[in-house]
Amino acid sequence: MITPEPSHMHTTFRSLVTSIHGLLFGSLFLIAIAATALELLRQQVMVRPAELTPLGRFLERAAYIKMAAFGWIAVLLGTYVIYPWYRSKPPAGANLADYPRSLLLSSPNTAAWHSFGMEWKEHVGWIAPIVATMLAVVMIRHAAALRVDKRLGRAVLAFACAGLLATAVAGFFGAMLDKTAPVVGGATYTVMGGHHG
Amino acid sequence: MAELENSYSGAPSAVQGSVCAALVSAGLGCFVLGLTDVLADASPALNKAFNIYNPTGALSGETTLAVVLWLVSWFVLERLWTARAPKLGAALGAALAMLLLGLALTFPPIVDVLTGH
């Protein structure tokens, strides 16, 4: 009888932080800004505005504040924690798997993931939290005005759509870059341990 | 409440001014983000100047400048335009134009054309 090899689920510190950036805060932000764009669109076509209870108003305002907060956390984590790991320069003879930017640029088959994907993501991603913060403030302070003044409502909706587009681009390239050249390294953690069979 | 909201077709002047301030300043922030991306790509000197946090490179200065200009312009425009609302069409047109320019200037093929790379 063959004794099964023990199996574990390992991850590294950098992988974990990257997941928190994209899968947690990035995803929550994408959902929140999409919901806000949908709400603005709904306000443009509704016949009679919905009236909320005090609890409903509180929850609505909290949702807008959380949207902006998720956006800022995602973009700041990405820019100031993960991006330095991504772009760090390898010493001579180093394994490029630990240096995602250099790994991507080392092959013509993957170079555009950096020169197009990362270059676009790192800049367009910053549009999203700026727009989200503006949306949160305007929706909390002037939601009624957006319902009655269609020009204002449509302009704010256009910004929400741009923010959603920026988030989608950043999210898509973030996911694809992490599949092609994942950010790894740092301490290794065992998320789960067990045995085959 | 519904009758009151439907009884006029425009928001009060101070509210219009406040929303315009939020939109125009956000548009400006997006435009500055795109513009600094192009400038940092075109000029090694500017690229170096934008590098205020070395591990992140020029992106640190580009985004910091955009965020500071966005917040300062929001504060100033909010004070100005709640007292006296701007022309709505002009303000919204400027906000949307800057937003679109900002989006366009972050798109790498456009950056490459503008910088000759």
Residues of A with CB under 8 A from a CB of B: 48-49, 51, 79-80, 83-84, 87-88, 115-116, 119-120, 122-124, 126-127, 130-131, 133-134, 137-138, 141-142, 144-152, 155-156, 158-159, 162, 165-166
The span from the CA of A166 to the CA of A3, in Å, is 51
Going by pLDDT thresholds of 50, 70 and 90, the confidence category of residue A83 is very high
Touching A: B residues 34-93, CB under 8 Å = 34, 37, 53, 55-57, 59-60, 62-63, 66-67, 70, 88-89, 92
Nearest to A162 among B37, B66, B103 (CB): B103
Name the token pair of A177.
């870059």
Half-sphere exposure of A191 (CA within 13 A, CB side): 7
CA distance A143 to chain B (A): 10
% of chain A exceeding 70 in pLDDT: 95
| Model ipTM value | 0.90
The enclosing H or E element of A112 equals: helix A111-112
B6 pLDDT more than 90: no
Contact B85, B15 (CB under 8 A): no
Contact A104, A181 (CB under 8 A): yes
A91 pLDDT more than 70: yes
Instruction: Return the number of CB contacts < 8 Å for A and B.
Output: 120
The whole-number average pLDDT for the span A93-99 is 91
Write out chain A residues lying below 8 Å of B21, CB-based: none
B17-60 confidence digits (pLDDT tens): 999 999 999 999 999 999 999 999 999 999 999 999 999 999 99
Q: B53 - beta bridge partners?
A: B57
Half-sphere exposure of A4 (CA within 13 A, CB side): 7
Nearest to B2 among A48, A83, A137 (CB): A48
B52-74 confidence digits (pLDDT tens): 999 999 999 999 999 999 999 99
Residue A8 has phi, psi (to 5 degrees) of -135, 160
